[in-house]
Amino acid sequence: MKKLILSLAALAVLCASLPTVAQADPVKLTYSNFFPPANHQSQLAEEWCREVEKRTGGKVVIDYYPGGTLTQAKQTYDGVVEGMSDIGLSCLAYTRGRFPVMAAVDLPLGYKTAAQATHTANAVYQHFKPEELADVEVMYFNGHGPGLLFTTTKPVATLEDIKGQKIRSTGNSAQLVQALGGTPVAKPMPENYQLLQKGVVDGSMHPIESNKSFKLGEVCKFGTDCFDVAYTTVFFIVMNKAKWASLDADSQKAIREINAEWAPKHAKAWDEADIEGRQYLIDQGGKIMELSPEESARWVAASQPVIEGYIKETDARGLDGKAIIEFTRSTLK
């Protein structure tokens, strides 16, 4: 009996000294993001990756690919669906018409902060759970601060001032420019600086933060505080459905908790960047034009065809465009 006890004790010591074989290998994921590494949104995305690794106890490990090195901005969503990357961050607007419910958030509804835009985007998704996003596992959304009008040589303080001006704009902002009487010129943001500098366009619709991040405050001399028709752009963070399903329940729970914390972090970073972008424009000698309440009401009235067009297009797809707009506006307020 004594020998048996000694043998069992020796076996226990031997087993304790051996590596644990039952512990599963970590799930390795890839994260694709088009923002360059130094951008505040890219830094937050990478912090999200490290936080997931930390809170899952290393059960989930993420390789981060910024700057479009894994998939380009327009390719990111399909890249996640097809497994080219496991997680992706990009803009819904880059595949215009594909996300009709969420597109309501990008309309010129009068955003004042990125916090408003981010809260509204996540609320619209949670309320409608649109089928358009059923092929991925949604992590969360965020939206940049108010998209406003900036011009190079002529200040804009009335609708008459914008008539005939060529304004770099895309998507909903291009529709807004047209509704206000300007001429939209659809060009991507990276080309914007040279377009403005060379006089190819007279102005641009862009977030305030872009005056610093894209140095547009060097070539734009005037900003128009048209907040009542300000738009946003919704950014998605989504995961491949099969990869999500491969995670254990505890890891999924931890990631959901991180998602709830990270959306406001993105909004805060956008809003802080807007403060810097506004000051950057002023430091370059730029001036800010403020619309009078009466003039702002004119801009809102002029922008209504953009809203009505959205409702008409959405209704044609079997959705209730008016209900989507009403919910979006009520959430924003």
Residue 62 shares a structural domain with residue 139: yes
Confidence band (pLDDT; 50, 70, 90) for 28? very high
pLDDT value, residue 23: 54
pLDDT value, residue 19: 45
Residue 7 lies in a domain: no
Tokens of 37: 């590494």
pLDDT value, residue 24: 74
Over residues 9-23, the mean pLDDT reads 46
Residue 35 shares a structural domain with residue 137: yes
pLDDT value, residue 190: 80
Residue 3 lies in a domain: no
* C-alpha closest to that of 96 among 156, 152, 30, 175: 175
Residue 177 shares a structural domain with residue 131: no
| Helices assigned H by DSSP within 186-248 | 192-197, 210-213, 241-246
Q: What angle do CA 204, 207, 208 make, to 5 degrees?
A: 100
Which residue, 258, 274, 290, sits at the end of a domain?
A: 274
Residue 160 shares a structural domain with residue 302: yes
pLDDT tens digit sequence for 66-114: 999 999 989 999 999 999 999 999 999 888 789 999 999 999 999 999 9
* C-alpha closest to that of 34 among 82, 86, 62, 71: 71
Residue 84 shares a structural domain with residue 122: yes
Residues with Cβ < 8 Å from 67, sequence gap 6 or more? 33, 34, 35, 36, 37, 42
Residue 57 shares a structural domain with residue 88: yes
Over residues 180-204, the mean pLDDT reads 94
Residue 260 lies in a domain: yes
Q: What angle do CA 16, 20, 26 make, to 5 degrees?
A: 155
Give me the numbers of helices (H) and strands (E) for the chain, helices first please: 12, 11
Q: What angle do CA 94, 229, 216 make, to 5 degrees?
A: 60
Locate the DSSP E strands across 194-276.
203-207, 222-225, 234-240
When computed from its CA atoms, the radius of gyration of the chain, rounded to whole angstroms, is 24
- Residue 254 sits in a domain whose CATH number is 3.40.190.170
pTM beyond 0.85 = yes
Residue 83 shares a structural domain with residue 115: yes
Query: From edge to edge, which strands make up the β-sheet containing 27-33?
Result: 60-65, 27-33, 87-91, 234-240, 136-143
Residue 184 lies in a domain: yes
User: Could you give the CA distance from residue 2 to residue 24 in angstroms, rounded to a whole number?
Assistant: 37
Residue 201 lies in a domain: yes
For residue 116, the enclosing domain spans: 25-143+233-274
pLDDT value, residue 13: 46
Residue 227 shares a structural domain with residue 238: no
Residue 295 shares a structural domain with residue 201: yes
pLDDT tens digit sequence for 148-188: 999 999 999 999 999 999 999 988 899 999 999 999 999 88
> Strand 147-151 and strand 222-225: pairing?
antiparallel
Residue 4 lies in a domain: no
Residue 206 shares a structural domain with residue 129: no
Residue 180 shares a structural domain with residue 213: yes
Neighbour tally for 325: CB within 10 Å: 18
Q: Provide the domain count of the chain.
A: 2
